[in-house]
Structure 1
Amino acid sequence: MFGLMGVTAVALIVKLLGRNRTENVDGLLIEQTSRVQAHNDRVTYSSAAVHKSSPTVRHHYRP
């Protein structure tokens, strides 16, 4: 039983580590573009940008 669980864990680790490899330049460029887009989205849609105040400001109004 423990052997089966160990084999399953090793298979999952190998599968997950194998997914992160990019074999060609096109894949690297796509990943880089995605990272840049995600960074821009985080900056554009941050709490400070959307609400024009920091998220720690407390308001006295409670619904």
Structure 2
Amino acid sequence: MIELGVMFGLMTAIAVVLIVKLLRRSSTENVDGLLIEQARRVQAHNDRVSYNSNAVHNTPPTMSDLYYRP
């Protein structure tokens, strides 16, 4: 019976530590940090759109591809 209490106590302690760590990690100290995070998120979105498989492999030829023959 005591072992069961110790196990649940340890699991609760681990859960509390993880929750505290996640909450401290996600908070940003000032507006500059929020702006940096927003700019990086927008840049990552633009990169995902620009460099996805469809955009890279299925584009129509452009003037720079005029002399390219696969």
Give me the whole-angstrom Cα distance separating, in 1, the residues matched to 2:51 and 2:23: 31
Matching residue within 5, 28, 46 for 2:34: 28
Identity of aligned residues (%): 74
Superposed CA RMSD: 1.3
Matching residue within 2, 11, 14 for 1:5: 11
Bigger relative CO (Cα 8 Å, ≥ 6 apart)? 1
What does the per-residue CA deviation read over 1:1-41, in whole Å, with 9 as the maximum and x for residues that have no partner? Answer: 22012111111111112211112011011101100110110
Give me the whole-angstrom Cα distance separating, in 2, the residues matched to 1:30 and 1:24: 10
**Counterpart in the other structure of 1:38:** 44
Structure having the larger proportion of residues in helix: 2
TM-score (norm 2): 0.68
AA partner of residue 52 (structure 2): S
Give me the whole-angstrom Cα distance separating, in 1, the residues matched to 2:52 and 2:10: 46
Unaligned runs of 5+ in 1: 54-63
TM-score (norm 1): 0.75
